[in-house]
Amino acid sequence: MFTGIIQSIGKISAIIQHGADSCFVFNAGTMNLSDLSVGDSIAVNGACLTIIEKDNNSFAADLSNETLELTTFSKLGVDSSVNLEKAMQLSDRLNGHMVSGHVDGIGKVLDMDEDARSVRYSIEVPPALNRYISKKGSVTVDGVSLTINVVEGNAFSVNIIPHTLSETIFSEYEIGNQVNIEVDLIARYLDQLIVK
């Protein structure tokens, strides 16, 4: 379980193909890995991955064919920047919202506009996810916990404050970039309860 509060920007340092799946090696940037062990979970661009190897400043994770198909990892290469967050502990503050690290779909950046000191991003989601997106609800974009400002059709907008812009990969986005989307856990489970 995660909170959607990014702790470091890392980089992909190697991708090792193993047939249909891959092993990704990540440089952890400023993140201290000393309290992590092989087998621990870490969110990379919002996807919960399992550490299979690590040293002082890098770790490796296997990505299955399913993960590669359902996330943006298949579009990333060596030197791509990624958002990193360690799994939360029960004693941690929940500063963002409850995030599972299970990506629901791939969104696309439609627009970026300056809004005072913030930047307003408009992001399109697959039609199947639209029912979980609501004004003032929570959403996770590449692992970042955000509050939705506006919903228009299959798109929503979020304001990214200067701190978030400097501490995440939002500053590298361009129109057309694809992003990992995780909808709010409560909305997902409520939908299942109501439908059934």
Amino acid at 77: G
Q: Is the pLDDT of residue 28 over 80?
A: yes
Match 């193909």 to its residue by tokens.
Answer: 17
pLDDT at residue 46 tops 80:
yes
Residue holding tokens 């629901």? 104
| pLDDT one-digit tens code per residue, 137-162 | 999 999 999 999 999 999 999 999 99
The predicted structure's pLDDT at residue 90: 73
Residue showing tokens 């993960």: 67
Tokens of 28: 């952890």
Q: By C-alpha distance, which of 182, 166, 25, 55 is closest to 106?
A: 182
Which pLDDT value is given to residue 174?
97
For the segment 50-76, the average pLDDT, to the nearest whole number, is 96
For the stretch 13-26, pLDDT in tens is 999 998 888 999 99
pLDDT band of residue 78 (cuts 50, 70, 90) is: very high
pLDDT digits over 102-143, tens only? 999 999 999 999 999 999 999 999 999 999 999 999 999 999
Neighbours of 71 (CB within 10 A): 23
The pLDDT, as a whole number, for residue 97 is 74
Q: Is the pLDDT of residue 94 over 90?
A: no
Mean pLDDT of the region 156-178: 97
pLDDT over 90 at 92, yes or no: no
Domains of the chain and any CATH numbers: 8-86 (2.40.30.20), 105-195 (2.40.30.20)
CB 53 within 8 A of CB 94: no
| 195 has a pLDDT exceeding 70 | no
In contact, 9 and 29? CB cutoff 8 Å: yes
**pTM, whole model, 2 decimals?**
0.93
- The residue assigned the tokens 């029912």 is 131
19 dihedral zone (left: phi>0; alpha: psi -120 to 50; beta): left
